[in-house]
Structure 1
Amino acid sequence: MRPGDEIRVLPSGKTSSVARIVSMDGDRELAVAGESVTLTLSDEIDCSRGQVIVTAQAPLEVADQFESTIVWMDEVDMVPGRAYWLKIGTQTVSATVHEPKYEVNVNTQEHLASKTLDLNAIGVANITTDREIPFAPYSESRDLGGFILIDKISNKTVAAGMIHFALRRAQNIHWQAMDISREHHAMIKNQKPAVLWLTGLSGSGKSTIANAVERKLARMNRHTFMLDGDNVRHGLNKDLGFTEADRVENIRRVGEVAKLMADAGLIVITAFISPFRSERDMVRGMMQPGEFMEVFIDTPLSVAEERDVKGLYAKARAGQLKNFTGIDSPYESPISPELWIDTTKLTPDEAADLIIAKLIP
């Protein structure tokens, strides 16, 4: 790098030129790989931590979908579809790991079919990040091609990986700008978009309370839409079962739909067990700040099982229903929800009034 060289900042793509190269010993006429120097640019452009400065003639690739080799290092198996923190270079982004294409037998190099990766397993899988990042294949750069995955809840490093290449579909899909903004959608409805996320055990009363909330908001001339767990599985998510990976994908799809509806200016009311904190946090991250309201419909397991309006607990206890939350699949209670509803002390209408009071002070 020399003063006067044209540079580009990735992933923003903004360009400038090098005005000065500054070191502890004064200005320099040349800087090479491995040296620590300060670059003064000719223009005031944003260049924050994690972004990469490259010569304008030889930029890096930028993408948000990759094929990668992953070495799993945690005792808890990888969950396809779950969001992890991906740290690459000095940049940290949210990333989703898809079901492995195959697992590698380390002794024979044979490719084995696998739906997940367990401790010390090595596999090849696609990864999607929440935004485009500059990268280089690991074969060309360890710094910009190697990464680690961090569990968002425990903050443990769960895997290390190497990027092979960007997926072609990532390079051929571009965001289409729209003339009508989400702010305009909300303005003409005279309301602030929101996503009311009701979570709790089966039988806790989520759907009953959500229905009461929507009914009361309709009387206030608010524009709403309700997404219910059972109803969504009749259409959008009818191809999903109840394994941990399927539950993660179920909530991811619902989160994307809720985001689109919030963009349309609606108040979205959801009623989903959504048993895992990481997926509820993933949906929160999809929304604009302040638009996501987590409502914990807290009902003791014994009370929910006593209600058992759908007969599901009886089937689960009899072994006829596998992966049922609260029986043989865990429920992770919210730690700091926006609202905590104790259904042993409140009627559905009283609970709905509390939610609306929180939504519209």
Structure 2
Amino acid sequence: MTMKTENTVWHEHNVSKAERAKQKYQQPCLLWYTGLSGSGKSTVANAVDAMLYARDCHSYILDGDNVRHGLNGDLGFSDEDRVENIRRISQVAKLFVDSGLIVTTAFISPFQSDRDMARALLEGGEFLEVFIDTPIEICEQRDPKGLYKKARAGEIKDFTGIDSGYDIPQSPEIHVETANKSIEQCALQIVNHLEQKGYIPSK
């Protein structure tokens, strides 16, 4: 959707994004986790969030399932609804980044065009694509919600990796290969990247 509500005007804030970031001693950004269902996106994201909290960083997670319980509860999983799902969360994430937070979204977000759309909303360096790279065989073995089994049985349609495609990120800022790493190791890789690139202070 590109339609805008009529008779509305954007209001500038007295406190800038830079001032909010300075108050929090960090550079706001959006960690956009993408990967197949069962890849470990939410698990790794939560581990990273806990590490950031322990370091007195200001962060928040916008989890895919949680958002579908409220804001996006009216959407299904057709290609059209997936696009709208990402459009809405991208706009919400932008507001969170503007508040000075390190924001996390954990969505399958299978289409590169949608991830590019989310990136385009933010300033340079604020969008960090985090590819949680887990082979589909491992995702199916885990199948924590039993979704792959249902998809294989035809009980779920438009399931990513089965009867709906997934665009593998070609140049993610952070590429996490989970097959031979613990959750802690994956999370540390991401936190170390944030530290090395100056988003959060060094210990």
TM-score > 0.5 by shorter chain: yes
Residue 154 of structure 2 corresponds to which residue in structure 1? 319
**Are 2:47 and 1:208 aligned?**
no
Identity score, percent: 55
CA shift, 1:325, in A, is: 0.4
| 1:156-167 matches, cutoff 5 A | none
Residue 135 of structure 2 corresponds to which residue in structure 1? 300
**Are 2:175 and 1:310 aligned?**
no
Query: Larger Rg: 1 or 2?
Result: 1
CA shift, 1:177, in A, is: 2.0
| 1:87-106 matches, cutoff 5 A | 96=2
In structure 1, distance between residues paired with 2:152 and 2:164: 12
Runs of 4+ in 1 over 6 A off after TM superposition: none
In structure 2, distance between residues paired with 1:358 and 1:242: 32
In structure 2, distance between residues paired with 1:254 and 1:263: 14
- The superposition leaves residues 52-94 of structure 1 with CA deviations (integer Å, 9 ceiling, x where unpaired) of xxxxxxxxxxxxxxxxxxxxxxxxxxxxx4xxxxxxxxxxxxx
Structure 1: 5+ residue runs without aligned partners? Answer: 1-80, 82-95, 97-127, 129-166
Residue 98 of structure 2 corresponds to which residue in structure 1? 263
Residue 247 of structure 1 corresponds to which residue in structure 2? 82
1:346 to 163, 166, 181: 181
- The superposition leaves residues 94-118 of structure 1 with CA deviations (integer Å, 9 ceiling, x where unpaired) of xx4xxxxxxxxxxxxxxxxxxxxxx
Q: What secondary structure does 2:176 align onto?
A: strand
TM-score (norm 1): 0.53
Deviates more, 1:311-320 or 1:180-189: 180-189
| 1:32-181 matches, cutoff 5 A | 81=1, 96=2, 128=3, 169-170=5-6, 172-181=7-16
In structure 1, distance between residues paired with 2:118 and 2:47: 23
Matching residue's letter, 1:186: A
Matching residue's letter, 2:43: T
CA shift, 1:305, in A, is: 0.7
Matching residue's letter, 1:327: I
In structure 2, distance between residues paired with 1:307 and 1:270: 21
Q: What secondary structure does 2:85 align onto?
A: helix
Matching residue's letter, 1:249: E
Residue 335 of structure 1 corresponds to which residue in structure 2? 170
TM-score (norm 2): 0.94
Q: What secondary structure does 1:297 align onto?
A: strand
Q: What secondary structure does 1:284 align onto?
A: helix
Matching residue's letter, 1:226: I
In structure 2, distance between residues paired with 1:203 and 1:178: 40
Structure 2: 5+ residue runs without aligned partners? Answer: 197-203
Residue 112 of structure 2 corresponds to which residue in structure 1? 277
In structure 2, distance between residues paired with 1:177 and 1:303: 47
2:64 to 229, 243, 262: 229
Matching residue's letter, 1:304: C
Residue 142 of structure 1 corresponds to which residue in structure 2? none
Which of structures 1 and 2 has the larger relative contact order (alpha carbons within 8 angstroms, sep 6+)? 2
CA shift, 1:197, in A, is: 0.7
In structure 1, distance between residues paired with 2:195 and 2:121: 22
1:286 to 118, 121, 126: 121
Q: What secondary structure does 1:360 align onto?
A: helix
CA shift, 1:270, in A, is: 1.4
In structure 1, distance between residues paired with 2:92 and 2:9: 19
Q: What secondary structure does 2:159 align onto?
A: coil
Between Structure 1 and Structure 2, the one with more strand by share is: 1
In structure 2, distance between residues paired with 1:324 and 1:306: 16
Q: What secondary structure does 1:226 align onto?
A: strand
Q: What secondary structure does 2:38 align onto?
A: coil
**Are 2:26 and 1:191 aligned?**
yes
Between Structure 1 and Structure 2, the one with more helix by share is: 2
Q: What secondary structure does 1:295 align onto?
A: strand
Residue 201 of structure 2 corresponds to which residue in structure 1? none
In structure 2, distance between residues paired with 1:327 and 1:222: 38
Q: What secondary structure does 1:214 align onto?
A: helix
CA shift, 1:248, in A, is: 0.4
